[in-house]
Amino acid sequence: MELAERLLKGDKRACARLISLVENEDKEAVDILKKLYKHTGNAHIIGITGPPGGGKSTLTDKLAKMLRKEGKKIGIIAVDPTSPFTGGSILGDRVRMSDLTTDPGVFIRSMGTRGHLGGLSKGTQSAIKVLDIYGADYIFVETVGVGQSEVDIVKTADTVVMVMVPGLGDDIQAIKAGVMEIGDIFVVNKSDLEGADRTALEIEMMLDFKKHNGWRPPVIKASATEKTGIDNIIEKIKNHKNHMVKTGQFHIRREENIKLEILNLVKEKLMTMIAKKSNDSNEIDSLYKDVLEKRLDPYTARDKIIDLVKK
């Protein structure tokens, strides 16, 4: 139980080790999380998402620095894709956050997606819990570049910051379906470059088409490298949480996210149980064959598999 105590005391090494253990689905680590779960829930979880190269890491660096001036403790999780062919990855987000590395109030962790689709890794949610217990006031989660299916972040974060850049033009059209739904705050980063006003306007126009539940996402022009607009983003992040708490939506969103998380855990567990069953005997495998050769239909096979696992 030594690790658990050290984590509660805010020990960086313990925090780092626990994240590895939960990422590797270590049983002992899960037991620790079970014990310490009641210590979670204090951190404001902020998703940072948007197209590749849009400046997510650079912006996160600047946001974290500003919050550090208020004395807040910061956790950062940066997710990059794992190669589906080799299982390896190069996690390069730290390059943009070098100055934060030695700040005692900041903990940065890079994670590979390890085969998980949806913009985060399977271990991300557990890693967030570890950082929450560790005592972070704010946890930033940088996703891999956003596409159509990568909406994990809404199911994980309290506030989603969508980072866009000038001149996306047609790209905005292409990705808007998924993207417009998930941003609570829109940032047009790289506003030092040409075309920021137009992009901001385009985003505003698309937001006009949407129904809003009391919170109309603000669109903020910023430049992470020139450090402009950063204070405005921080203010909107705080406003968003205040608004959510005041209207009761914060609670509703967390409850919905918890529900999804638990259902996912159940799904994963079921799949492991099925895999184990099919390792132990060939009952399940023979069902596949039965369906292939039309002795059985997929729906009956499903019911039979569920019966087998229940036994």
Partner 1 sequence: MSEKPIRVLVAKPGLDGHDRGAKVIARALRDAGMEVIYTGLRQTPEQIAAAAIQEDVDVVAMSILSGAHNHLFPKVVKLLKDQNADDILIIGGGVIPEDDIPGLKEAGIAEIFTPGTSTTEVIEYIENSVKKSS
- Contact residues for ligand GTP (CB under 6 A)? 52-58, 93, 96, 145, 189-190, 192-193, 223-225
Looking at beta carbons only, is 13 or 35 nearer to partner 1? Answer: 13
The residues near 72 (Cβ < 8 Å, ≥ 6 apart) are 105, 137, 138
Q: Which stretch binds partner 1 (CB under 8 A): 13-21, 206-214, 223-231, 251-259?
A: 13-21
Contact criterion met (CB below 8 Å) for 150 and 144: yes
CA distance 172 to 95: 27
Residue 308 interacting partner from ligand GTP, Mg ion, partner 1, none (CB closer than 5 to 8 Å by kind): none
Dist. CA 140–CA 237, nearest whole Å = 11
Give the one entry of ligand GTP, Mg ion, partner 1, none that residue 98 binds, where binding means its C-beta sits below a cut-off of 5 to 8 angstroms depending on kind. Answer: partner 1
Please identify, using beta-carbon distances, which residue of 12 and 210 lies nearer to partner 1: 12
CA dist., res. 177 & res. 33, Å (int): 36
Task: Find which of partner 1, ligand GTP, Mg ion, none residue 90 binds, CB within 5 to 8 Å per kind.
Answer: partner 1
Query: Smallest distance from the beta carbon of 103 to partner 1, in angstroms?
Result: 9
93 near Mg ion (CB under 5 A): yes
CA distance 1 to 34: 12
- When asked if residue 249 is in the footprint of partner 1 (CB under 8 A), the reply is no
C-alpha 272: how far from chain center: 23
Question: Looking at beta carbons only, is 105 or 195 nearer to partner 1?
Answer: 105
Of 226 and 255, which has the nearer Cβ to ligand GTP? 226
Per-residue x/- marks for partner 1, 109-148, CB under 8 A? Answer: xx-x-x----------------------------------
Residue 61 interacts with Mg ion (CB under 5 A)?
no
Q: Which residues are CB-neighbours of 166 under 8 A, at least 6 positions away?
A: 188, 190, 191, 193, 194, 195, 196, 198, 199
CA angle 283, 285, 288 (to 5 degrees): 115
CB 206 within 8 A of CB 172: yes
Q: What is the DSSP letter of 120?
A: S
- Token pair for residue 232? 């405005």
Which residues in this chain contact partner 1 in the complex, by CB under 8 A? 12-13, 15-17, 19-20, 24-25, 82-83, 86-92, 94-95, 98, 101-102, 107-110, 112, 114, 275
Which residues in this chain contact Mg ion in the complex, by CB under 5 A? 56-57, 93
